[in-house]
Amino acid sequence: MQKPLTCVEICAGAGGQALGLAMAGFVHVALVEYEADYCNTLKQNRPEWNVICADVRNFDGKPYEGVDLLAGGVPCPPFSIAGKQLGKDDERDLFPEALRLIKEIKPRAVMLENVRGFLDNGFSEYRQYILKSIEKLGYDTQIKLLNASDFGVPQLRPRVVIVGIRREENRNFTYPQGDSQIAPTVGNTLYDLMAENKWKGAKKWAQNANKIAPTLVGGSKKHGGTGFQDR
């Protein structure tokens, strides 16, 4: 019987990426998240998860050496327009911590996610530094922009995904091929919920909500909370 794949996830938020990894067959041995509200959400929804509510800067990866995957959506404001694109000069940039943990944990694979702005020309030098640093730790790396709506999510959510595979694994990795035509509309997705309490306007609402949604952003304490944007 094949052993389950193990995962350490940093910057776990309220668990969106963690749920996806769980659906893909990964068992989380640790989820690291700083915000108390997000930690409570994770614990309430998945009591079996080992949620570590702490600053990732203080998280020691050595006890988890050899897990199958180190994953994380490191903070995106340093590279997003809403976050003023300060890059490595932004105190919220946690790429250095991700590199430290790759070195400590030595996972079989790495997956780091960030906003489309990470691909901007202004970050080319820093981007190459990150990729080269992962490669020096023994990984073959790839980077690609993916859009959630190409994989059935009714939201415009482009994200850069960095994948690293340890060279001794001798595995070829290819990104999944998306389809821009498969995303349902917001109306189709949420109609049953809107109609749950017999709201008579639900059908008309669903007809008007006939597109995918823009990106919903929020959580940053520096750019004013929740809003909509396209990157």
DSSP 121-170: GGGHHHHHHHHHHHHHTTEEEEEEEEEGGGGT-SB--EEEEEEEEEGGG-
The three-class DSSP label of residue 75 is: coil
- Mean confidence (pLDDT) of the chain: 86
In terms of C-beta distances under 8 Å and separation of at least 24 residues, what long-range contacts does 80-85 make, across chains too? 80/115, 80/117, 80/217, 80/229, 80/231, 81/117, 81/229, 81/231, 82/217, 82/220, 82/223, 82/227, 82/229, 83/220, 83/222, 83/223, 84/222, 84/223, 85/117, 85/120, 85/122, 85/123
**Is residue 39 flagged as an active site residue?**
no
Percent residues over pLDDT 70 in the chain: 85
Superfamily of domain 5-169: Vaccinia Virus protein VP39 (3.40.50.150)
pLDDT score of 116: 86
Tens of pLDDT along 62-72? 999 999 999 99
Q: Where are the domains of the chain?
A: 5-169, 186-229
Tens of pLDDT along 33-57? 999 999 999 999 999 999 999 999 9
Tens of pLDDT along 112-134? 998 888 888 888 888 899 999 99
Checking if the pLDDT of 81 tops 60, the result is no
Catalytic residue among 7, 11, 39, 76: 76
pLDDT band at 170 (very low <50, low <70, confident <90, very high): confident
Q: Which residues pair with 145 in a beta bridge?
A: 160
